[in-house]
Amino acid sequence: MSPLSPYARFVALLILLLNFHAFAAENADSAADIYKDASQPVEARIADLLPRLTLDEKIELIGGASFMTTHAIPRLGIPEFRMSDGPFGVRDVNREGSKQVPTRVYAGGMALAASWDAGLAHKVGAAIGRDCRARGINIFLGPGMNLYRAPFSGRNFEYFGEDPLLTGVIASGYIQGVQSQGVAATMKHFVANEQELNRHNISSDVDERTLRELYLKPFEMAVEAGVWCAMDSYNPINGIHATENDWLNNKVLKGDWGFKGVLMSDWWSMVSTLASANGGLDLEMPGKPQFFKVEKLKPLIDSGQVTMATVDDKVRRIFRVVFSMGWMDRPQFDSSIPMDDPQSDQVTLEGAREGITLLKNTGNLLPLNLAKVKKIVVLGRNADPAIAVGGGSAHIDYMHGKSLLDGLKELAGDGVEIIRIPWSTMPAGTDFSKPSKTPFALTAYGAPGNPALPQDFVDAIKSADAAVICVGFNDNVKDYWQSDHARPDAEGEDIDRTYQLPPGQVEVVKAVCKLNPKVVVVLNAGGSVETKDWIGDVPVLLDAYYPGQFGGTAIAEVLFGKINPSGKLPFSWETGWEDSAAYGHFPTASSKDNTYKEGVFLGYRWFDSKGIEPLFPFGLGLSYTKFEYSELDLQASGNGDFKARFTVTNKGDVAGAEVAQLYVVPPQASVPRPVHELKGFTRLDLQPGESKSASIVVAAKDLGYWDSSLKKWKVTAGKYKIEVGSSSRDLSLLGEVAEAAIDE
């Protein structure tokens, strides 16, 4: 190395001195500036900062600066804060936040809920938090926590199913995981946004009891779990726009539940300045703001229609998050975390493994025996390339997609012939390995007007040991948006999808069943699909939801028995849509009525109370082993809370995991109540022959219903029946506890 010239040494010294000077000046500042002092209590820092901000600066802070950033105030050393979409991973952001780049895709939403594993949700959340730190993201825009009301909602796949407790528990684990990394999570969309159709205009009309018991409940639990940000929904609720909804935002969220963080708008969802400012909205997103801006807000402050206290409260909330998360005390960008973080490989895979749900396995066709299987045919558009996530703002391009075809090939090795059969009448030269960008891509051979299936394929299907058909929807919402919503095959934001599988897919399933009975159908969808034409013909249905970038590996592991499936269905799957709670009053293109007429009788609460047999009940998930439940013991504590202890035994000869579920049957009340409701669950790993003792604690206050006239929770005095078992329809352990009345 050549020694430095005297001139270079002089310049280096000068730079050093200047840097030292800047450092000293900054430190001298921070000695006096309480708001910059990390050792000071958060509220003291806010109190110190607030008077230093001009009114214009305060208004700037409550309106976004760009699509995903807030305003910086350089004079006070306040940087911009960056956001990113989720919830399956940190969407399309490089370190600078400027480019769309592939990222890591986890099993999120429905796939994660199907694990019923709050610990896993925490790990996925923490991995996402690390990915945020690797990109300098402060606020992560997830999880989505609306409930599953009908299979049509294009965003069901982002959410956690039909039950408020399951949703609240999974969401809370995930939120605490994200926030454990110094990143704020955002619960969205607050509230009652259960359809995508005309979502800006259709009012969700829901009575207060139904809101409190079902749709608000997971959000309430997330607040208890310490979530820092919330996002209002696009829709009006009972005629009042979410962003202006004083009752929901001020009374319920910030009042009843004591939420101390930031409530932001969904993107371009605001419709007013005055009503939103007073209606509890804290931050307009994205920038440049249209409503929370100086020209519009200042006159309202001058005239006294919006008070300074209201504006200050919004700013206070923003800095409560900033200081609590330490965003001004350390760089948010952590260069020690790689963009593609190998530390997260395991949790990416675990997420996919735990959620996959085996719904039907006639004759124990699964697992396929690798020692015996010689040939497998693989069909279906979703078999390759992998569809890791649905579309819309949740869409992510993965870094390393593992399709089902890849997964099968890797696991089967050379001893098994895996034949990929394209099943389409697309023009000659179509590359079947890529998702087609053309609408109606998958039209089956042999369907009316289409050519017959080539003989080679017929022979291969007939002679295969199994035909694996991966059906479902895809994430191609970008095309959908561009093509004036003309795609019937995508599932994602802004679309209510069809109940039917995309065109051609049922024909594929039926045609294969005629050639070979050993058919395994694997599904990518956020909810149920119409099955009446084919479910009787197929021995196996495996719901993979959208399992993230390593889904293909996990599904192959399940097919070959390397992993014993343990996912449980987070929604009720009806025999036909007409059996469902929201049938006849879910909004459609011809009827914009969105009254939640089923009230609290949603999902299994409906099927079980009305005695309607679902096709696959809520909580169902088959295993390659058998679990036996025994020895229920209920111990009441003095205050009415109780603990259910019981034993679960693995009676089969392979290891497996079981999600034990506890439901409570309430006594008669002055209002009709669901016949039973999920009140707790626990997941157990069991070796063959192993027994484990499990316990679930239920709080007395959680047994109540919302009394709309008195506006409070009420627990009726009387006997509560306790049911424990493996799904909402398989509850073999029964007991009873006596409760005193609670009125709160």
Question: Looking at beta carbons only, is 141 or 662 nearer to ligand BGC?
Answer: 141
Alpha helices for 526-598 (secondary structure H): 551-559
Question: Looking at beta carbons only, is 187 or 470 nearer to ligand BGC?
Answer: 187
Which residue out of 163, 266, 479, 496 is catalytically annotated?
Answer: 266
Say how far apart CA 386 and CA 524 lie, in whole Å: 10
Q: Regarding beta strands 357-361 and 540-543, do their DSSP bridges make them parallel or antiparallel, or are they unpaired?
A: antiparallel
**Residue ranges binding ligand BGC (CB under 6 A):** 85, 141, 188, 266-267, 393, 493
Say how far apart CA 613 and CA 607 lie, in whole Å: 7
8 A C-beta contact, residue 95 and residue 136: yes
Residue type, 3: P
| Min separation Cβ 167 and ligand BGC, Å | 16
| Min separation Cβ 271 and ligand BGC, Å | 15
Region for 658 from its dihedrals, namely left if φ exceeds 0, alpha if ψ lies in -120 to 50, beta otherwise: beta
Question: Looking at beta carbons only, is 286 or 565 nearer to ligand BGC?
Answer: 286
- Residues contacting residue 653 through CB under 8 Å, at least 6 positions apart: 625, 688
546 closest CA partner among 391, 390, 404, 392: 390
| Min separation Cβ 683 and ligand BGC, Å | 29
Residue type, 589: A
Give 719's strand partners. Answer: 738
Question: Is 266 marked active-site?
Answer: yes
Angle at 716 between CA 713 and CA 721, to 5 degrees: 115
Say how far apart CA 418 and CA 439 lie, in whole Å: 28
E-strand stretches of 381-439: 417-420
8 A C-beta contact, residue 691 and residue 648: yes
Question: Looking at beta carbons only, is 235 or 716 nearer to ligand BGC?
Answer: 235
Q: Regarding beta strands 656-665 and 718-725, do their DSSP bridges make them parallel or antiparallel, or are they unpaired?
A: antiparallel
| Min separation Cβ 324 and ligand BGC, Å | 22
Q: How many residues does the chain have?
A: 744
What does the CA dihedral 577, 491, 437, 380 come to, rounded to 10 degrees? -60
Question: Looking at beta carbons only, is 281 or 700 nearer to ligand BGC?
Answer: 281
Question: Looking at beta carbons only, is 60 or 232 nearer to ligand BGC?
Answer: 232
Q: How far is CA 361 from CA 357, 464, 540, 565, 712, in A?
A: 11, 18, 5, 11, 46
Residue type, 628: E
533 closest CA partner among 471, 575, 479, 579: 575
Say how far apart CA 402 and CA 628 lie, in whole Å: 35
374: tokens are 């010689």
| Min separation Cβ 393 and ligand BGC, Å | 4
Say how far apart CA 704 and CA 698 lie, in whole Å: 12
| Min separation Cβ 234 and ligand BGC, Å | 7
CA pseudo-torsion sign 311, 319, 247, 67: positive
| Min separation Cβ 396 and ligand BGC, Å | 12
Angle at 609 between CA 612 and CA 734, to 5 degrees: 105
Question: Looking at beta carbons only, is 139 or 665 nearer to ligand BGC?
Answer: 139
Helices 42-49 and 308-325, interaxial angle, to 10°?
130
Q: Is 160 helix (H, G, I), strand (E, B) or coil?
A: coil
682: tokens are 């626990």
556: tokens are 């192959």
Q: What is the DSSP secondary-structure string of 258-273?
A: ---SEEEPPTT----S
8 A C-beta contact, residue 523 and residue 542: yes
Say how far apart CA 238 and CA 204 lie, in whole Å: 6
Question: Looking at beta carbons only, is 45 or 395 nearer to ligand BGC?
Answer: 395
| Min separation Cβ 495 and ligand BGC, Å | 12
Question: Looking at beta carbons only, is 266 or 284 nearer to ligand BGC?
Answer: 266
Question: Looking at beta carbons only, is 227 or 664 nearer to ligand BGC?
Answer: 227
Q: Regarding beta strands 83-85 and 139-141, do their DSSP bridges make them parallel or antiparallel, or are they unpaired?
A: parallel
Residue with tokens 């909004």: 587
DSSP assignment, residue 78?
Answer: B
Question: Looking at beta carbons only, is 85 or 489 nearer to ligand BGC?
Answer: 85
Say how far apart CA 232 and CA 172 lie, in whole Å: 18
- In this structure, the number of other CB atoms found within 10 A of the CB of residue 516 comes to 17
Question: Looking at beta carbons only, is 213 or 493 nearer to ligand BGC?
Answer: 493
Question: Looking at beta carbons only, is 155 or 568 nearer to ligand BGC?
Answer: 155
Q: How far is CA 547 from CA 55, 110, 151, 543, 554, in A?
A: 47, 9, 18, 10, 8
Q: How far is CA 625 from CA 366, 519, 732, in A?
A: 12, 21, 17
214 closest CA partner among 596, 572, 579: 596
8 A C-beta contact, residue 664 and residue 722: yes
Query: Which residues are identified as catalytic?
Result: 266
